[in-house]
């Protein structure tokens, strides 16, 4: 299509005159993504407004939002005219002021479009932000230049490099928008145009002055938080250019970087993961309309996990009743929840009004009968089959017939847990990750008799709580812990065969993991995996090699950070190598007849990844996981896998076939199976088919 060819298809932009003001309404459901059709409609709308000789124009969104971002499906191919800078150029060249009227969200290209207008007003509750760095590239339509001219370079670095979403009130305070308006948004925008008849493009505004030290501190913090990824470095460099008097060269520089990075390896992997996360929230053949509305939640067990689940529910606006075994335990649990909320207020992460509202939604009880009004009850008691079955047997008679029961088990067989229930279809697994109010992943576990209503409700609850759901069938450890257990076993075998815990952890962090496997074990507690190993002892394959070192650590009372020592010593306040651990490792090697060998960083990384990839293939073969990309979503959201690598299976699909075969052969020799169990080739071919989505 040429630049000035009028589209024949129906445009998602409507045009109407309200007196002497043109109103351009974006109607591209469900979230008004900034597609090529939207961009074209805006250009033609500005051209028409110019021909009509209007006094001003308003760009506003229909439905629930302004623009939720650009259409990522376009980003893997050449972008058609008009691109977003073309739209903004038309707005800046218009002889009348253009006001962006924001509601819902204005993210990415949506905020850049608003920044290209002369003024910005917003309805209360609107969220704005530039999340491009979280997708592997940088803002490409002036975000790195116009935003800092309004809020300053240091704050621009913080907002852009953290991919922050901020509320309208905050945006007003820092000068990012011009007004927060109440009442009808369009009426308010029309009034605003009447009060501001002159153009005021952002490019004419001088960047607020700041000291060198303030800017450098913001840049250093952003680099660290962003793990020195290339797009973070480029974003910082571009934002610094916002102090230049003229914007044209910097805008061209920004666009060049954006165009290169949007098709680069990080952005391609992150785009894959973005669409994989959407797919993970769906189940083929499931009609989501059968989901129940959850108006009241019950949580049984006020330990660490139970408290986290309570906080997650409160944060989502859900009323919660916490059930404990006695008044003393209940009081302690409620006090700990309250103390956590107070700490959030003190840190500025929670508004005092929101804290008060959350407290009003929380109640406690020691009588199960109090839960009779709950639509969903989540048990979070001790990880023991008998204990959990007793809780479920107490709950079922007191709940309404259509109320659902969820278990937060990490490993236990939910099919066995449902035995003896009058209505096993009401039981579902909701495996939260600790801390439950922070970690994004929620495994929704479908037992053999779980009803469609229960499954759909679990997925709906995940959306309500802002969680990333992944659907799993029943299996030891479900998807995530099963893959992680294979990863941890391989790490332990590497230590038995010659590597040090520090080497393995360093290699994992160098690959991009947030923490190494031994540091993670110390943080979560070595006794958790120890209990699992003891439970699995009777079913362990006789040919599988077994590492006794973590058992010896537990027997010595070294359970990790909570006891001051585990794989590392924490007496100094930080993790330090320990000669006691070295001695245990030497003894285990001697007992197993192992002659230690040397490992380089690359070999350690590839063996850790091979273990994850093979186990993921097994999960798919056994139909525990629905699809290969779900395994990637699980590991990226729950286990610190570097998002810019897409996921373990995505990573493996980029490696050579010979390289993966060699890695899997070495894995088979190391674990003692003598062969690879998972259909890895088939799985990786499936991932390759999804990479371009």
pLDDT at residue 71, rounded to an integer: 87
The DSSP bridge partners found for residue 299 are 322, 378
Kindly indicate the confidence band of residue 6, based on its pLDDT and cuts at 50, 70 and 90.
Answer: very low
Each residue of 58-71: pLDDT tens digit? Answer: 999 999 999 999 88
pLDDT at residue 689, rounded to an integer: 52
Residue 74 has pLDDT above 60, yes or no: yes
Each residue of 360-396: pLDDT tens digit? Answer: 999 999 999 999 999 999 999 998 999 999 999 999 9
Half-sphere exposure of 82 toward its Cβ, with a 13 Å CA cutoff? 26
pLDDT at residue 537, rounded to an integer: 79
* Distance (Å, whole) CA 489 – CA 503: 15
Question: CATH for 13-263, among 3.90.226.10, 3.30.565.10, 3.40.640.10, 3.30.70.890?
Answer: 3.90.226.10
Contact criterion met (CB below 8 Å) for 171 and 264: no
Residue 9 has pLDDT above 60, yes or no: no
Residue 76 has pLDDT above 90, yes or no: no
pLDDT at residue 393, rounded to an integer: 95
Q: To the nearest whole number, what is the mean pLDDT of the chain?
A: 93
pLDDT at residue 4, rounded to an integer: 38
Mean pLDDT over 129-149 rounds to: 96
∠ CA 689-690-693, nearest 5°, is: 125
* Distance (Å, whole) CA 598 – CA 80: 53
* Distance (Å, whole) CA 325 – CA 381: 10
* Distance (Å, whole) CA 161 – CA 218: 10
Active-site positions read 112, 132
Kindly indicate the confidence band of residue 2, based on its pLDDT and cuts at 50, 70 and 90.
Answer: very low
Residue 7 has pLDDT above 70, yes or no: no
pLDDT at residue 529, rounded to an integer: 87
Residues 6+ apart with CB under 8 A from 62: 14, 25, 26, 27, 29, 32
pLDDT at residue 534, rounded to an integer: 85
The first and second tokens of residue 368, run together, are: 């199960």
Mean pLDDT over 306-315 rounds to: 97
Mean pLDDT over 62-90 rounds to: 92
Q: Other CB atoms closer than 10 Å to residue 528's CB: what's the count?
A: 15
The DSSP bridge partners found for residue 470 are 443
Residue where the block lists tokens 């935003």? 147
Mean pLDDT over 639-659 rounds to: 93
* Distance (Å, whole) CA 208 – CA 204: 13
Mean pLDDT over 510-528 rounds to: 94
Give CA 168 to chain center in angstroms.
23
pLDDT at residue 486, rounded to an integer: 94
pLDDT at residue 3, rounded to an integer: 41
Each residue of 445-500: pLDDT tens digit? Answer: 999 999 999 999 999 999 999 999 999 999 999 999 999 999 999 999 999 999 99
* Distance (Å, whole) CA 237 – CA 232: 9
Residues 6+ apart with CB under 8 A from 693: 73, 271, 272, 275
Each residue of 18-34: pLDDT tens digit? Answer: 999 999 999 999 999 99
The first and second tokens of residue 595, run together, are: 């002659």
Contact criterion met (CB below 8 Å) for 443 and 479: yes
Least confident of 234-248, 285-299, 504-518, 538-552: 538-552
Name the CA radius of gyration of the chain, rounded: 28
Contact criterion met (CB below 8 Å) for 28 and 35: yes
Residue 682 has pLDDT above 80, yes or no: no
The first and second tokens of residue 170, run together, are: 């905050």
Half-sphere exposure of 279 toward its Cβ, with a 13 Å CA cutoff? 18
DSSP state of 560: B
* Distance (Å, whole) CA 506 – CA 298: 42
pLDDT at residue 686, rounded to an integer: 62
13-263 against 294-474: fold identical: no
Kindly indicate the confidence band of residue 145, based on its pLDDT and cuts at 50, 70 and 90.
Answer: very high
* Distance (Å, whole) CA 407 – CA 445: 9
Strand order, beta sheet including 56-61? 13-18, 21-26, 56-61, 98-102, 119-122, 179-180
pLDDT at residue 227, rounded to an integer: 87
DSSP state of 10: P
> So where are the chain's domains?
13-263, 294-474, 481-690
Mean pLDDT over 639-661 rounds to: 93
**What is the domain class of 481-690 according to CATH?**
mainly alpha
DSSP state of 293: P
∠ CA 683-686-692, nearest 5°, is: 140
Mean pLDDT over 73-93 rounds to: 93
Least confident of 100-109, 199-208, 460-469, 602-611: 199-208
The DSSP bridge partners found for residue 429 are 407, 445
CATH 3.40.50.720 fits 294-474, yes or no: yes
Residue 97 has pLDDT above 80, yes or no: yes
* Distance (Å, whole) CA 666 – CA 655: 16
Residue 349 has pLDDT above 80, yes or no: yes
């Amino acid at each position: 299509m040429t630049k000035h060819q009028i589209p024949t298809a129906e445009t998602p932009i409507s045009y109407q005159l309200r007196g002497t003001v043109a109103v351009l309404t974006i109607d591209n459901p469900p979230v008004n993504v900034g597609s090529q059709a939207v961009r074209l409609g805006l250009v033609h709308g500005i051209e028409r407004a110019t021909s009509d000789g209007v006094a001003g124009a308003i760009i506003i969104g229909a439905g629930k939002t302004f623009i939720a971002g650009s259409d990522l499906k376009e980003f893997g191919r050449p972008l058609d005219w008009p691109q977003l800078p073309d739209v903004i150029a038309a707005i800046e060249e218009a002889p009348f002021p253009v006001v962006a009227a924001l509601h819902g969200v204005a993210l990415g290209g949506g905020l850049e479009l608003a920044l290209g207008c002369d003024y910005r007003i917003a309805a209360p509750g609107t969220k704005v932000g530039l999340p491009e760095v979280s997708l592997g590239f940088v803002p490409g339509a002036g975000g790195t230049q116009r935003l800092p001219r309004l809020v300053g370079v240091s704050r621009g670095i913080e907002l852009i490099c953290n991919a922050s979403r901020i509320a309208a009130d905050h945006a007003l305070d820092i000068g990012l928008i011009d007004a927060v308006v109440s009442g009808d948004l369009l009426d308010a925008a029309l009034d605003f145009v009447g009060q501001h008849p002159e153009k005021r493009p952002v490019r004419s505004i001088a960047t607020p002055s700041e000291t060198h030290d303030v800017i450098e501190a913001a840049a250093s913090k952003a680099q660290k938080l962003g793990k020195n990824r290339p797009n973070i470095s480029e974003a910082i460099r571009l934002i610094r250019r916002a102090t230049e008097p003229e914007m044209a060269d910097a805008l061209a520089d920004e666009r060049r970087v954006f165009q290169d990075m949007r098709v680069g390896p990080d952005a391609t992997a992150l785009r894959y993961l973005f669409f994989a996360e959407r797919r993970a929230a769906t189940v083929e053949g499931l009609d989501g309309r059968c989901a129940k509305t959850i108006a009241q939640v019950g949580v049984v067990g006020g330990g660490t996990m139970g408290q986290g689940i309570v906080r997650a529910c409160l944060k989502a606006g859900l009323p919660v009743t916490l059930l404990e075994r006695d008044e003393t335990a209940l009081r302690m649990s409620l006090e700990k929840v309250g103390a956590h909320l107070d700490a959030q207020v003190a840190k500025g992460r929670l508004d005092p009004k929101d804290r008060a509202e959350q407290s009003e939604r929380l109640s406690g009880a020691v009588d199960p009968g109090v839960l009779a009004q709950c639509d969903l009850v989540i048990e979070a008691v001790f990880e023991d089959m008998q204990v959990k079955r007793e809780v479920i047997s107490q709950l079922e008679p007191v709940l309404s017939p259509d109320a659902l029961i969820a278990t937060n088990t990490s490993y236990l067989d939910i099919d066995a847990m449902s035995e003896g229930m009058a209505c096993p279809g009401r039981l579902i697994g909701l495996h939260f990750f600790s801390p439950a109010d922070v970690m994004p992943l929620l495994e929704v576990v479908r037992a053999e008799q779980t009803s469609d209503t229960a499954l759909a409700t679990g997925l709906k609850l995940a959306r309500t709580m802002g969680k990333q759901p992944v659907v799993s069938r029943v299996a030891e450890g479900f998807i995530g812990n099963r893959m992680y257990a294979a990863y941890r076993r391989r790490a332990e075998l590497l230590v038995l065969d010659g590597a040090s815990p520090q080497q393995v952890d360093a290699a994992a962090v160098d690959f991009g993991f947030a923490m190494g496997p031994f540091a993670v074990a110390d943080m979560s507690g070595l006794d958790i995996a120890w209990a699992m190993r003891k439970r699995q002892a009777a079913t362990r394959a006789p040919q599988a090699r077994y590492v006794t070192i973590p058992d010896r650590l537990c027997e010595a009372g070294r359970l990790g950070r909570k006891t001051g020592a585990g794989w590392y010593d924490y007496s100094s306040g930080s993790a330090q190598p320990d000669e006691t651990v070295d001695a245990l490792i030497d003894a285990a090697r001697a007992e197993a007849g192992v002659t230690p060998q040397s490992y380089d960083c690359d070999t350690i990384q590839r063996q850790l990844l091979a273990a994850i990839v093979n186990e993921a293939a097994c999960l798919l073969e056994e139909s525990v996981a629905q699809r290969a990309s779900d395994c990637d979503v699980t590991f990226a959201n729950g286990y610190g896998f570097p998002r810019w690598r897409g996921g373990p299976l995505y990573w493996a699909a980029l490696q050579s076939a010979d390289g993966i075969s060699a890695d899997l052969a070495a894995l088979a020799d190391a674990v003692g199976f003598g062969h690879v169990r998972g259909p890895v080739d088939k799985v990786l071919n499936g991932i390759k088919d999804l990479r371009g989505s």
